[in-house]
Amino acid sequence: MRIPIRVSLDQPEPMYHQIKTQLRALIMSGQLEQGTLLPSIRELANDLSCSVITIRRVYQDLETEGLLKTRQGTGTFVAHIEPTEKEKHKLEAVIHAMEEAINIARQHQYDDEEIQSLFLKCLMKREKED
Amino acid sequence: MTYEHSIILRGIKKKVEPFLLGPIDLEIPSGFITAIVGPNGSGKSTLFRMLMNLVKPDEGTLQVMGQTYPEHDVELKDRIGYMLDSTEVIDDSLRARQVKDFVRQFYTNWDDGEYERLIQRFKIDERMRLRRMSKGTQQKFALVQVLARRPELLLLDEPSLGLDPLAWRDMMDEISHYMEQPGHTVVIATHIIEEVRRLADYIVFMYEGQVLGMYEKDSLLENWREMWIEGNSAQLSAIDGICHVDPRQPNRLIADDYAKASAELKRLGIHIYQSQPIPLDEIMQYMIEKHRDSTYR
């Protein structure tokens, strides 16, 4: 099985982190459903051209977070996640993206009022497009 | 038998006039794919032959999967899959099927089912005589034989010579597949950067008979970055994490520890306005330059 994860060395963010964030998002958004068998550590490492050391770390961390389950001899599966957890993750992802936007705006010396009006402008533009 | 390292070399030296290998100290972990890279003549093949007891070291000790030569010669040759050119050791007027019938009797783990699967996958015509096969087909057939033996340790010396792109992908897949079995280990010597990028967990750099270093692949690729800074960097080469300053373009730096270098530059108030990863072959080149500088200065 191939999972839609993209890793790029162009980003200063470590590969381990890139993979973990994307895999977590795929699980939380329900694109990878409960019970889905993930590729083996070696397979995913091969697909993403990274080492098994990195993938093992990602799988272990997500298992600790309760998103994955490993059954000896069969492999790693997507665990059951409470809907409230999924909601929480969605909210966090959106808040995080907004905070990032605020950071960039502040770096370019926009004040809060300008940021608010920019945000509304973007929303209106999107409405028209939709 | 359990062992943490498939290969342990201590103080290995070998003189093959005019060439000197070593002294080499190296530990290759089991359960991983380790790529050995280096220019021609860096000693990769001699090292492989030593691991098979085909070349004996002048000095030092060598341990393979917890065993040593010459006491365990027969056992080790059964446990190691060393892929070599069949035409070098076998009458090349034989047909593939005859070669297989001959070879299979020497290996305790030989797996006929696996052999058949691989013959199909690589589309090898078993009626063909070795000498009539193309170089690529010979390579594929050699790989099939070595995998059908189900070795614990696979030694591959430039395995993709002569392979077309499709056969190359099949080979990459099969090496990966071989590694699904717990405790399996691959050591691959290669010039092909794409192979290292795709397969390796660890990378060993060799140059002129010396091991320049062994690195975990992902952290190596993350640590080395090319970066451009604002202003001049004439004095920056002494900074932690920076290994090279471009003499013709002093705002361009090469970091071998990006995290350290960027923290240090930040502390000095120097802005990095762009950075990007460095391809493996360039990293190797910088390592060789550094090694030369420290050896011949």
Question: DSSP string covering A17-40, please?
Answer: HHHHHHHHHHHHTTSS-TTPBPPP
Mutate to test the interface with A, among B201, B257, B272, B274 (most CBs of A within 10 A): B201
| B279: closest CA of chain A, how far (Å) | 10
| Partner-chain contact A50 B216, CB within 8 Å | no
Asked if A84 contacts A40 with a C-beta cutoff of 8 angstroms, the reply is no
Would you give per-residue pLDDT tens digits along chain B (297 residues)? 678 999 999 999 999 888 899 899 999 999 999 999 999 889 998 999 999 999 999 999 999 999 999 999 999 999 999 987 555 667 889 999 999 999 999 999 999 999 999 999 999 999 999 999 988 899 999 999 999 999 999 999 999 888 999 999 999 999 999 999 988 999 999 988 999 999 999 999 999 999 999 999 999 999 999 999 887 666 666 788 888 888 888 788 899 999 999 998 888 888 888 899 999 999 999 999 988 888 765
B286 φ/ψ angles, rounded to the nearest 5 degrees: -65, -40
Show which residues on chain A lie within 8 Å of chain B, measured between beta carbons. 9-10, 12, 14-16, 40, 42-43, 45-46, 49-54
How confident is the model over B80-108, as pLDDT tens digits? 999 875 556 678 899 999 999 999 999 99
Q: What is the chain B residue with the closest CA to A52?
A: B201
Query: Which is nearest to B230 in space by CA: B214, B252, B245?
Result: B252
| Best residue in B174, B218, B228 for a mutation probing chain A (most A CBs within 10 Å) | B218
Residue of B82, B33, B67 whose CA lies nearest to A55: B33
Q: Is B217 in contact with A51 (Cβ distance < 8 A)?
A: yes
Average pLDDT over residues A43-49: 93
Taking the model in full, what pTM does it have?
0.89
The Cα B148–Cα B112 span in angstroms is 7
CB atoms inside a 10 Å sphere around CB B158: 16
Q: Catalogue the long-range contacts made by B175-179 (C-beta closer than 8 Å, 24 or more residues apart).
A: B175/B33, B175/B199, B176/A42, B176/A43, B176/A46, B178/B147, B178/B154, B179/A42, B179/B33
Sheet holding B153-157, edge to edge: B80-83, B153-157, B185-189, B33-37, B202-207, B210-216
CA of B194, closest CA in chain A: separation in Å? 9
Put simply, the answer to whether B201 touches A46 (Cβ < 8 Å) is: no
Mean pLDDT score, A21-50 = 92
- Chain B: give the shortest CA distance to residue A106, in Å: 18
Residues B201, A49: C-beta atoms closer than 8 Å: no
The set of residues, in sequence order, having a beta carbon less than 8 Å from that of B151 and lying 6+ positions away, is B78, B79, B80, B81, B109
Interacting residues of A67 by C-beta distance below 8 A, sequence separation 6+: A24, A27, A28, A78, A79, A81
Q: How many residues does chain A have?
A: 130
Domain A15-78, architecture per CATH: Orthogonal Bundle (1.10)
Letter string b/e over residues A9-40, b meaning 16 or more CB atoms within 10 A of that residue's CB: beeeebbbebbbebbbebbbeeebeeeeebbb
CB within 8 Å of chain A, chain B residues 183-212: 197-202
In a mutational test of the B interface, the residue from A20, A42, A55 whose CB has the highest number of chain B CBs within 10 Å is: A42
Predicted confidence at residue B87, as pLDDT, reads 59
Q: Which among A12, A14, A53 is the nearest to B201, CB-wise?
A: A53
DSSP type of residue B238: G
Contacts of residue B199, Cβ cutoff 8 Å, sequence gap at least 6: A46, B33, B35, B172, B175, B176, B186, B188
Burial class (CB in 10 A: 0-12, 13-18, 19+), B117: middle
Q: What's phi and psi for A16, nearest 5 deg?
A: -55, -45
Interval B36-79: pLDDT, tens? 999 988 999 899 999 999 999 999 999 999 999 999 999 999 99
Q: Where are the domains of chain A?
A: 15-78, 83-129
**Pairing state of beta strands B185-189 and B33-37?**
parallel
Residues of B in contact with A40 (CB under 8 A): 180
B227 strand-pairing partners: B253, B275
Q: Which residues of B touch A45 (CB under 8 A)?
A: 201
A16, A46, A52 member nearest B32 (Cβ):
A52
Q: How confident is the model over A72-101, as a mean pLDDT? A: 89
- Supply the pLDDT for residue B281: 92
What does residue A120 show for φ and ψ, rounded to 5 degrees? -65, -40
- What's the confidence (pLDDT) of residue B27? 97
Three-class secondary structure of residue B36 per DSSP? strand
* Cβ atoms B97, B126 nearer than 8 A: yes
Q: Which residue(s) pair with B153 in the sheet?
A: B80, B185
The pLDDT of residue B86 is 55
The pLDDT of residue A119 is above 60: yes
